[in-house]
Structure 1
Amino acid sequence: MRVLLTGAAGFVGRHLHQALDARGDDVTACDLVNGQDALDLFRTDTTRYDLAIHAAAIVGGRASIDGSPLGVATNLALDAWYFRWLVRTGTPRAVFFSSSAAYPVEYQQPGEIRRLYEDDIELSDPQLPDATYGWAKLTGERLAQYAAAEGCRITIPRPFSGYGADQADCYPFPAFIQRAKARQDPFEIWGDGESTRDWIHIDDLVGATLAAVDQDVTGPINLGWGRATSFNDLARLVTKAAGYQPRLQHRSDAPRGVHHRVCDPSRMLDIYTPQVSLEDGIRRALGR
């Protein structure tokens, strides 16, 4: 296929680019790092691709979400122009990366873990998502409906905590890996460490996304294992794999996000089975 990939130099984009190349697709890569602004492309380009994958966004982990809400809101303009471009060019197939941050925060509180289903988001009557980033993703999903009504078939992955060895260390997983490699003791964890996340390796995130495209799955689809792992448990897994057992030290003054964020992966499992367990991903990142 002839594919446009925005954000091609980012974490998800890099891995998507490699996978698309390996399939033999003809990829046009767009990224600010290479001097190409996706916003300018969407405003002016008239090329009709077989598939467009929009992975360009302002990101930066929890500190960015909490500390730079207006910067994150810039994604709204980028996404809006993406959907206008899809309709203008008649591109028939598209991917818009949403996020688990779009889910209502009331479903992610302390107490019993509530797995999140795709239908928990009702775009006609949205509930409070996670910060400006979540609102931007909710708005993008709503705009996707208008582009779909014009004939574009759009897959909307909602990745949970994607991770990999080459992810920027402003995210928890690579930060934990770096601390373990340095044999940090005490081992620092933001918050009380009891909040949970659902981790999915970048290889599976990419594999599930392309499986959804190949099998013509449209609309939202959770990408995750459905496995709740606390940050304390993640620290124990990482340090055990690194060969030591430090004391855990918690920072109550640091950003921490919602308490539980775990998906129901049933829709994904209909088309794709993840291959890289969290333990395997840790070993890969540590070079073990």
Structure 2
Amino acid sequence: MKVLVTGGAGFIGSHVCDEFLAAGHEVIALDDLSSGKRENLDPRVRLAVHDIRSREAAELIKSEKPQVVCHLAAQMDVRRSVEDPSFDADVNIRGMLNLLEASRVSGVKKVIFSSTGGAIYGEQDVFPAPESHATRPVSPYGASKAAGELYLGYYRAQYGLPYVALRYANVYGPRQNPHGEAGVVAIFCQRLLSGQGCTIYGEGKQTRDFVFGPDVARANRLAFEKDYVGAINIGTGVETDINRLYALLAEAAGSTAPAAHAPGKPGEQLRSCIDNSLAKKVLGWEPGADLREGARRTLAYFRQKQASPERAHG
């Protein structure tokens, strides 16, 4: 099978490429390299450098005719979405529609969409949140991901295009960008290894559901192989506060330095955790790495990258 992965040179996307390659599929990565990196990709992956909003991106789908499109490319910075909601919508909604239109006329068999389990539910009523939980995002980023799911429902109803919307928890792991706002694990890893201090905003009691990147990639492959259509949470169902996260990473780094604390960020969610029981039932998916193991492997990647940047693949 031929698989097109948008955002394929990025952190999660490159792991998705690896997962499909390992399963014997032909893989094409579509990425504008605004944040993705060529070195994240296995040499067997073909890279097409285009913006998902472009005519060239649509023409790539029409000419290559992939059986499945894994759509990960996105404007994913929550703070940037608040500062510039029009840009967020342009990339995340208009860009997605460009790909969906090309997919429906090109015979794509399934679209696997990277949605969000953190931002789509907003402040949760129950923990962990199931897929039936109300979606009430409190950022333009969360709103654009919710809109993406609604458009997928439309394309399914109107054109019979099957889809799965994978609602990720807080994804971390090797290849994560330590310079973006979305990657607290990567930021802590880089700072711990370089001997710099780490800062926790607020008391550090805010919780997140941390899920390992390669486990998320496996969920994409399983979503392709199974017949299910709809939204599925991909998380661990375990709440971890930021103080605990820092302690695990410091332990893995061999550091005894305490983290500094700064005033909390306004509007930050206090708790976030998603129920993965549907993923277990319909995909046969469950997380493979707990946070201690994932933290150790992620830190090892950043340590290797620091020692020899050109050889770290992870």
Same fold? TM cut 0.5: yes
Whole-Å separation in 1 of the counterparts to 2:89 and 2:202: 25
Are 1:216 and 2:231 counterparts? no
Per-residue deviation, 1:255: 5.8
Are 1:83 and 2:107 counterparts? no
> Which letter maps to 1:95?
I
TM-score normalized with structure 2 length: 0.81
Instruction: Classify the secondary structure of the residue corresponding to 1:32.
Output: coil
Q: Which residue of 2 aligns with 1:264?
A: 275
Q: Which residue of 1 aligns with 2:238?
A: 227
Q: Which of residues 113, 118, 123 in structure 1 aligns to 2:131?
A: 118
Per-residue deviation, 1:172: 0.6
Q: Which of residues 126, 136, 146 in structure 2 aligns to 1:128?
A: 136
> Which letter maps to 2:218?
G
How many residues are treated as equivalent by the alignment?
277
Q: Which residue of 1 aligns with 2:17?
A: 17
Instruction: Classify the secondary structure of the residue corresponding to 1:247.
Output: coil
> Which letter maps to 1:249?
A
TM-score normalized with structure 1 length: 0.88
- Cα 1:180–1:67 shift into 2, 3 Å: farther
Whole-Å separation in 2 of the counterparts to 1:256 and 1:192: 15
Q: Which of residues 51, 60, 67 in structure 2 aligns to 1:37?
A: 51
- Cα 1:249–1:256 shift into 2, 3 Å: farther
Deviations 1:155-196 (A, max 9, x none): 1100100011210012111011122223445x3112321110
Q: Which of residues 139, 147, 167 in structure 2 aligns to 1:158?
A: 167
Q: Which residue of 1 aligns with 2:114?
A: 97
Per-residue deviation, 1:66: 4.1
Q: Which residue of 2 aligns with 1:51?
A: 68
Q: Which residue of 1 aligns with 2:151?
A: 143
Contact kept, 8 Å, 2:12 with 2:217, in 1: the verdict is yes
> Which letter maps to 2:97?
A
Q: Which of residues 192, 199, 203 in structure 2 aligns to 1:180?
A: 192
Whole-Å separation in 2 of the counterparts to 1:141 and 1:100: 12
| Percent identical | 28
Segments of 5+ residues of structure 1 without an aligned counterpart are 122-126
> Which letter maps to 1:264?
D
Instruction: Classify the secondary structure of the residue corresponding to 2:123.
Output: helix
- Note the aligned Cα RMSD (angstroms): 2.1
- Cα 1:252–1:66 shift into 2, 3 Å: farther
Contact kept, 8 Å, 2:118 with 2:168, in 1: the verdict is no
Contact kept, 8 Å, 2:164 with 2:231, in 1: the verdict is yes
Q: Which of residues 210, 219, 222 in structure 2 aligns to 1:199?
A: 210
Contact kept, 8 Å, 2:8 with 2:30, in 1: the verdict is yes
Per-residue deviation, 1:143: 0.3
Instruction: Classify the secondary structure of the residue corresponding to 1:220.
Output: strand
Further displaced range: 187-196 or 141-150 = 187-196
Contact kept, 8 Å, 1:92 with 1:151, in 2: the verdict is no
- Cα 1:53–1:102 shift into 2, 3 Å: same
Per-residue deviation, 1:281: 1.2
